[in-house]
Structure 1
Amino acid sequence: MVETSRFQMGVIGALALSVASSVAIVICNKALMSNLGFPFATTLTSWHLMVTFCTLHVAQKFNVFETKSIEMKTIVLFGILNGVSIGLLNLSLGFNSIGFYQMTKLAIIPFTVLLETAFLKKQFSQKIKLSLFVLLLGVGIASITDLQLNLVGSVLSLLAIATTCVGQILTNTIQKRLNVSSTQLLYHSAPYQAAILFVSGPLVDQFLTKQNVFAYKYSAVVSAFIILSCLIAVSVNFSTFLVIGKTSPVTYQVLGHLKTCLVLGFGYTLLHDPFTERNIVGILIAIFGMGLYSYFCTHENKKTEQ
């Protein structure tokens, strides 16, 4: 009973940390890219991962956590896959309308459910599927405004969905099968994720923005926001692995859509972004779907424990 209570508190803490840090970094990055004119998202992500690895390396040296040996082939492929998925998501945003990009993000949940059902034999009840449908409907109403299709953008979106789903499923399965913690897995994989994005990031960003990240004139304010973004990213990356390890890839995606709703709300209140009745209705439906998902998951977990 005590162990169950501790696990539940750990899950709640991981979820709270993930929400707080993700909303904070979205607001920080929006100010950096929209207001300060720093558009190099993929390169910035590589810096995030480098700072994350350096922070964990220092923590490991001070015995904050113990490292655990993981087969090199597994960790390299895992790191590369996650790095590629980030690059593909950014490319998808560059080639598609914002509405179609939001559809891409929404499609990650049903694709994850499909993959886990087909390859991991995981069962999702009709109630869980219904709650996910309500959630996705609400987020779609709140965030999707335009849908413009093109062949290259569609292919990139499909590849982004596939690599993201597989990467998040592996984040969960590697932790459980190899008995490694989220911190240990992130520590080992972050250098490979950072490396592939450090090499490809400037090329991707130059292709999308027609600007060179190395020729950009960095002001003191921009540099300060980049440093702040990197520091927040340590918490984002850590909490991502923590949430997926303690719960599931689908729960992490549900949480991600809660962040979307919160970001829309914060954007309206803090940044005075446009907000309509459609946004409000969509957010309310999405929150209702999240509530259903949480209730059904809790109810089914209690049945399993009995």
Structure 2
Amino acid sequence: MGVWDSILRGGGGGGGRRFIKRKDSDAGEAGRALEELRGSLYNEFHTSEGAKRQQQRFCGPSVALTFNFFVAVGIIMANKMVMGAVGFNFPVALSLIHYIAAWVLMAVLKAFYLLPIAPPSKSTPFSSLFALGAVMSFSTGLANISLKHNSVGFYQMAKIAVTPTIVAAEFILFKKKVSLRKVITLAVVSCGVAVATVTDLEFNLFGACVAVAWIIPSAVNKILWSNLQQSGNWTALALMWKTTPITVFFFLVLMPLLDPPGLLSFNWNIQNSSAIMISALFGFLLQWSGALALGATSALAHVVLGQFKTIVIMLSSYLVFNSDPGFTSLCGAIIALGGMSVYTYLGLKESASGGKRAPSTSRQNSHLLKSKVIVDGEKPETRPIDSV
């Protein structure tokens, strides 16, 4: 007892009280740190800004483009199986199934709170989302009609025409300019792809009109996807969740007009339905990877990637399956690949020069922010942090 009395009396008692206070203080600091960590994690995963940061962190341009490339090759094989072996000759209905499957998968993600949060409705008007959903459906539908009524060569020429259309549209809509070196490189790429892939140019007036009508929606579709993600806090999945119902609605309108009759009489057995579901899964991955690529790069880069896929598929058929595209087509493919390499180099060079200028700009903004804090008479640590 004497020991305890000596501890609790005089300076010992005050020390004990101070010891208890320190323990309470440490517990309070730990609680505040835990609360701050919880708030930061919530902001990272349950706000549109945090979801956008996570997408940019884990899915950069190289990852997004590679993902889109492999998925595009996979869906070509899946659709060949559906259209050929299964005999499902309803392209618009197949696209509708793809988008419905994507909608269901995103609904499951949303039910488990795994779907990224969309920005506030005031940040993006509904007219922009409606236009994107409508343009997407018309782009896909007109592409299917163009492929049905045109030769492969004429269809490929229409795809090449999307590149200059994007350059012109971005300049008209956003005053976005492309450097002369990139314009020359894109021209070389387009010429190389044309020489490599255009073998027949059978002209059909109706098919030509459809092909020309498809060019503008295809270009606008890519521009809107890229612009909405880069100018706002939209992630690929959040934007898909908002626009897919609109696209499904327009597909329901277009399907009776564009598809041949006989959809209900199709043999929906387990084997055929499984093949269509595999194609639908690849369709969802294609939409997602395409949106990621457009958000991480640009509409022009996505078009160049599409042309790269065409060249790689042609060269793979030549090297693996011993097909003979001809010496001229092989020369065009080599020219196109060279132009794509130069375009990629120019894009990386511009990104690097932009990154070098960023630190000085951020320091300047930091200095301005510090000046504002001093003028307002506040300390940076005491400025409130918005939380949702």
TM-score (norm 2): 0.72
Shift of 1:274: 5.1
2:297 to 222, 247, 255: 247
User: Larger relative contact order (C-alpha < 8 A, sep ≥ 6)?
Assistant: 1
Which stretch shifts more, 114-123 or 214-223? 214-223
1:73 and 1:142 map into 2 onto residues whose CA distance is: 40
1:130 to 176, 181, 184: 184
Which stretch shifts more, 43-52 or 268-277? 268-277
| 1:171 aligns to 2:221 (yes or no) | no
Shift of 1:21: 0.3
Shift of 1:61: 1.7
Contact 1:52 1:234 survives alignment (8 Å):
yes
1:116 to 170, 177, 187: 170
| 1:290 aligns to 2:340 (yes or no) | yes
Do the aligned partners of residues 9 and 194 (structure 1) sit closer, same or farther apart at CA in structure 2, a change above 3 Å counting? Answer: closer
1:33 to 59, 62, 83: 83
CA offsets per residue over residues 68-114 of structure 1, 9 Å max, x none?
A: 24443332222112101111111122222211111111100111011
Partner amino acid, structure 2, of 1:10: G
| 1:187 aligns to 2:241 (yes or no) | yes
- What residue in structure 2 maps to residue 204 of structure 1? 258
Using the aligned pairs only, state the percent identity: 28
Shift of 1:217: 2.2
1:32 and 1:274 map into 2 onto residues whose CA distance is: 26
1:55 and 1:266 map into 2 onto residues whose CA distance is: 33
- What residue in structure 1 maps to residue 62 of structure 2? 12
Extract unaligned runs of 5+ from structure 2: 1-52, 357-388
1:290 and 1:145 map into 2 onto residues whose CA distance is: 21
1:10 and 1:287 map into 2 onto residues whose CA distance is: 22
Partner amino acid, structure 1, of 2:83: M
2:329 and 2:269 map into 1 onto residues whose CA distance is: 35
> What aligned pairs does 1:81-96 form with structure 2 within 5 A after superposition?
81-96=135-150
Extract unaligned runs of 5+ from structure 1: none
1:187 and 1:19 map into 2 onto residues whose CA distance is: 22
1:270 and 1:214 map into 2 onto residues whose CA distance is: 39
1:220 and 1:269 map into 2 onto residues whose CA distance is: 35
| Higher-Rg member (1/2) | 2
1:231 and 1:238 map into 2 onto residues whose CA distance is: 11
SS of the residue 2:161 aligns to: helix
| 1:107 aligns to 2:107 (yes or no) | no
> What aligned pairs does 1:194-233 form with structure 2 within 5 A after superposition?
194-206=248-260, 211-233=261-283
Do the aligned partners of residues 154 and 194 (structure 1) sit closer, same or farther apart at CA in structure 2, a change above 3 Å counting? Answer: same
1:235 and 1:279 map into 2 onto residues whose CA distance is: 31
2:242 and 2:81 map into 1 onto residues whose CA distance is: 31
Contact 2:116 2:235 survives alignment (8 Å):
no
Aligned-CA RMSD value: 2.2
Partner amino acid, structure 1, of 2:313: V
Do the aligned partners of residues 291 and 189 (structure 1) sit closer, same or farther apart at CA in structure 2, a change above 3 Å counting? Answer: same
2:84 and 2:187 map into 1 onto residues whose CA distance is: 32
- What residue in structure 1 maps to residue 23 of structure 2? none
1:49 and 1:134 map into 2 onto residues whose CA distance is: 35
- What residue in structure 2 maps to residue 80 of structure 1? 134
SS of the residue 2:263 aligns to: coil
Contact 2:116 2:237 survives alignment (8 Å):
no
Contact 2:59 2:292 survives alignment (8 Å):
no
- What residue in structure 2 maps to residue 281 of structure 1? 331
Partner amino acid, structure 1, of 2:136: N
Do the aligned partners of residues 19 and 121 (structure 1) sit closer, same or farther apart at CA in structure 2, a change above 3 Å counting? Answer: same
Shift of 1:149: 2.4
Which stretch shifts more, 17-26 or 7-16? 7-16
2:102 and 2:59 map into 1 onto residues whose CA distance is: 25
Do the aligned partners of residues 216 and 271 (structure 1) sit closer, same or farther apart at CA in structure 2, a change above 3 Å counting? Answer: farther
Do the aligned partners of residues 124 and 204 (structure 1) sit closer, same or farther apart at CA in structure 2, a change above 3 Å counting? Answer: same
2:312 and 2:81 map into 1 onto residues whose CA distance is: 16
Do the aligned partners of residues 88 and 229 (structure 1) sit closer, same or farther apart at CA in structure 2, a change above 3 Å counting? Answer: same
> What aligned pairs does 1:144-155 form with structure 2 within 5 A after superposition?
144-155=198-209
2:103 and 2:88 map into 1 onto residues whose CA distance is: 23
Partner amino acid, structure 2, of 1:116: E
Contact 1:18 1:240 survives alignment (8 Å):
yes
Partner amino acid, structure 2, of 1:150: N
- What residue in structure 1 maps to residue 310 of structure 2? 260
Partner amino acid, structure 1, of 2:222: Q
